[in-house]
């Protein structure tokens, strides 16, 4: 398969976690996969906007279903994978997007309880998603694609975000090692690492960290544009397009990677 056709996902079944919230990365990825022909199971801890997302995907000619799950609970993830297989017949793509980033503070003041909560969602959750998706893919014997959503914080430290950065750095290590484990089964494992995205979480982080630095919003955007060679803020669709590539046939020889989607701001 070559050209534009290779970017399609006809006949594939994908799970996208953390898909609640209309402005979020998960919703954007799910919509993009639906447009590309995949059947999509969307999930979040609460029902939230999931029914509306399913309707949107269906209105655009796609197939979708929703199920709630807590990514920190192994039984929930096992049941989620089983649901996808029962509803659509298989699981070919797993996108580990669920995460939290609103627990921040100086490392010397950061509460252990907040550290544990953040690691449970951002790292334990990704481990459980990889584990159960891989088991299903191995049993089916058709290979598969596993994609985890990291961050610029997967590559660089950020003020008052030691715990968040540690969790996102951990995703890269997990990705690289899982790629080695699962390569013999034809399963690719990659991460996508976006920089600042203007969604609900991104807006909160921007405002909180700017206030901590004593910056106005105008100062923030001036500094941001100066750091990004392409001169614009990343959008959710940019990350969704990167995920589509990694899920497609065009990326069949790409594994163990942590792809920056940052307009050139992050380059290692």
Stated as kind and residue range, the H or E segment containing 204 is helix 200-213
d(CA 134, CA 102): 29
Q: In Å, what is the CA distance from 102 to each residue of 73, 88, 118, 195, 203?
A: 20, 34, 9, 16, 11
3-class DSSP state for residue 186?
coil
Q: With contact defined as beta carbons under 8 Å apart, do 80 and 69 qualify?
A: yes
What is the set of active-site residues?
A: 164
Q: Quick one: which of 132, 123, 125, 121 has its CA closest to 172?
A: 123
Locate all alpha helices (DSSP H) within 89-124, ordered by sequence. 112-119
d(CA 198, CA 59): 25
């Amino acid at each position: 398969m070559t050209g534009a056709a290779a970017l399609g996902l006809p006949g594939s079944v994908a799970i996208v976690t953390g898909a609640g919230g209309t402005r979020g990365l998960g919703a954007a990825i799910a919509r993009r996969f639906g447009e590309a022909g995949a059947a999509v199971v969307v999930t979040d801890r609460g029902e939230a906007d999931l029914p509306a997302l399913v309707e949107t995907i269906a209105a655009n000619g796609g197939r979708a279903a929703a199920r709630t799950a807590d990514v920190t609970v192994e039984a929930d993830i096992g049941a989620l994978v089983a649901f996808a297989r029962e509803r659509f017949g298989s699981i070919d793509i797993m996108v580990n997007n669920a995460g939290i980033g609103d627990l921040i503070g100086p490392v010397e003041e950061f509460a252990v309880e907040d550290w544990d909560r953040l690691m449970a969602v951002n790292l334990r959750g990704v481990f459980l998603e990889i584990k159960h998706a891989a088991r299903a893919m191995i049993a089916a014997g058709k290979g598969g694609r596993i994609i985890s959503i990291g961050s610029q914080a997967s590559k660089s430290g950020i003020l008052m975000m030691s715990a968040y950065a540690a969790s996102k750095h951990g995703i890269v290590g997990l990705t690289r090692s899982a790629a080695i484990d699962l390569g013999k089964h034809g399963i690719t494992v990659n991460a996508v690492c976006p920089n600042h995205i203007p969604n609900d979480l991104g807006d909160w982080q921007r405002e909180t960290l700017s206030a901590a630095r004593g910056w106005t919003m105008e100062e923030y955007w001036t500094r941001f544009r100066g750091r990004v060679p392409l001169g614009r803020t990343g959008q959710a669709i940019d990350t969704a397009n990167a995920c589509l590539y990694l899920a497609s046939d065009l990326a069949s020889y790409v594994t163990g990677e942590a792809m920056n989607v940052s307009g050139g701001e992050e380059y290692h």
